[in-house]
Chain A
């Protein structure tokens, strides 16, 4: 089946780390993505991980993949107010079909 689940809301204090979690159901997914949506804008790709990787780090962003539990997480270190946005987890089996989660709204408190 094709289902991507995320919690709806996360609130953190500026300077703390944020961890946004996602579970997916299809173990044949090839790529897993994190997209960011700022108010009034479309989605922008933040980072991605290939299904044969466990971890990927890109500056303040760390993606962890637990294939056994079909769990994906995005950690944002030193969270800033500019990180306030909706974060979408997505999975794909190729470029034709990308399934998105419902999005997690991150609120950063100054």
Chain B
């Protein structure tokens, strides 16, 4: 089944403790992206990647890192999480062509205390 898989689904952590949210897709998609969803703000793009070893900042990249060492994986790294990073995070991928729909994972709900 074609899908984008994120792990974990839920994560509670404390300020400053490094964490990684994994994202994997099995559709051989070129393009991958991370979004955060917050009430009243919709989805905001954190980082995106157009291919292996090619990443770029989205609208809200501060406090986050990503890597794209393989085509299928695009982990999101929070080196020193803070409470303002408490949010619902979505990974998405697409073929990377004009009018390629985004395929979303089911989300990771992160709470930083």
12 additional A-B residue pairs with CB within 8 Å, beyond A35-B102, A44-B104: A30-B98, A31-B99, A33-B101, A42-B104, A42-B107, A43-B43, A95-B94, A95-B96, A95-B99, A95-B100, A100-B43, A102-B40
Total interface residues on B, CB under 8 Å, equals 26
A98 nearest in chain B by CB position:
B102
Interface string of A91-104 (1 = CB under 8 A from B): 00011111011110
A88 touches B42 (CB 8 A): yes
Of the listed residues B97, B100, B102, B105, the one surrounded by the most CB atoms of chain A closer than 10 A to its CB is B102
Q: Kindly list chain B residues whose C-beta atoms are within 8 Å of the C-beta of A33.
A: 101
A45 within 8 A of B: yes
B4 touches A95 (CB 8 A): no
B31 nearest in chain A by CB position:
A95
The residues of A with any CB-CB pair to B shorter than 8 Å are: 4, 30-31, 33, 35, 40-45, 48, 50, 88, 94-98, 100-103
Q: Kindly list chain B residues whose C-beta atoms are within 8 Å of the C-beta of A30.
A: 98-99
B48 touches A96 (CB 8 A): yes
* Closest CB in chain A relative to B69 CB, distance in Å: 20
* Closest CB in chain A relative to B71 CB, distance in Å: 16
Q: A45–B45 Cα gap in the complex (Å)?
A: 17
A48 touches B101 (CB 8 A): yes
Q: A96–B90 Cα gap in the complex (Å)?
A: 16
Q: A43–B76 Cα gap in the complex (Å)?
A: 19
Of the listed residues B50, B100, B101, B107, the one surrounded by the most CB atoms of chain A closer than 10 A to its CB is B101
Top 7 A-B residue pairs of the complex, sorted by shortest distance between their CB atoms = A42-B104, A102-B42, A45-B101, A100-B43, A43-B104, A100-B42, A95-B100
Q: A96–B30 Cα gap in the complex (Å)?
A: 11
Which B37-53 residues have C-beta < 8 A from chain A?
40-43, 45, 48, 50
B58 nearest in chain A by CB position:
A97
